[in-house]
C-alpha cells in the first residue's frame, strides 16, 4: 500500500501546446511538461508558493496536471525555469512530508482495523449459542 512519492520536475518545453492569445503581443502561453501529473495538493502548493515568490521578472504561472503554464516572452523561459525549479524543489519537499504523513496515518488506520478484526474474531470464538 505504501509507495514513495516520486519527485516532480520539468522535463520539456511543449512548443506544440504553446499558444498566443494576442497576435500583436510578444507574450505567449508557454507550456512546460512535468515528469508526471501533479496531485491536486502538489499543484495547489506550487501555485500558492509561486504567487508568494518574489522575482523581478516574475510572470503568471500555474500547474495543472502534467503541465506548468506561464505567460511570458519565449526568451525569458530559461530564467523562469531556474525560478520554477526553486519552487518545484520546495513543493516536492513539502509534498513528500505530506505524503509520508498520509501514508503513516493510513498504516495506523489499517493496524487499528486489523486489531479490531482480531478482537472480534476472539469474541466470536468464545460465543456460545446453545
pLDDT digits (tens, 9 = 90+) for 53-91: 988 888 999 999 999 999 999 999 999 999 999 999 999
Q: Quick check: 54 and 32 in contact, CB under 8 A?
A: no
- Counting the structural domains of the chain, the total is 1
| Residue 78 within any structural domain of the chain | yes
Q: 63 forms bridges with which residues in the sheet?
A: 68
Q: pTM of the full predicted structure?
A: 0.78
Residue 30 included in any domain: yes
Q: Which residues of 4-31 are buried (b: 16+ CB within 10 A; e: fewer)?
A: ebeebeeeebeeeebeeeeeeeebbebb
33 belongs to a structural domain? yes
Q: Which residue has the cell 520539468?
A: 10
Asked if the structure places residue 3 within a domain, the reply is no
Domain assignment of residue 87, yes or no: yes
**Does residue 2 form part of some domain?**
no
Range of the domain at 83: 10-97
Q: Is the pLDDT of residue 1 over 50?
A: no
The reply to whether 23 falls in a domain is yes
**Overall average pLDDT of the 29-34 stretch:** 98
Q: Is residue 64 part of a domain?
A: yes
Amino acid at each position: 500500500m505504501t509507495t514513495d512519492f516520486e519527485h516532480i520536475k520539468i522535463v520539456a518545453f511543449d512548443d506544440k501546446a504553446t499558444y498566443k492569445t494576442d497576435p500583436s503581443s510578444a507574450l505567449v502561453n508557454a507550456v512546460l511538461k512535468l515528469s508526471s501529473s501533479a496531485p491536486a495538493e502538489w499543484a495547489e502548493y506550487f501555485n500558492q508558493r509561486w504567487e508568494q515568490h518574489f522575482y523581478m521578472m516574475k510572470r503568471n504561472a500555474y500547474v495543472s496536471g502534467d503541465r506548468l503554464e506561464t505567460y511570458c516572452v519565449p526568451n525569458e523561459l530559461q530564467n523562469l525555469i531556474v525560478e520554477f525549479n526553486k519552487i518545484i524543489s520546495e513543493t516536492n519537499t513539502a509534498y513528500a512530508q505530506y505524503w509520508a504523513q498520509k501514508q503513516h496515518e493510513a498504516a495506523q488506520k489499517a493496524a487499528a482495523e486489523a486489531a479490531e478484526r482480531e478482537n472480534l474474531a476472539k469474541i466470536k470464538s468464545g460465543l456460545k449459542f446453545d
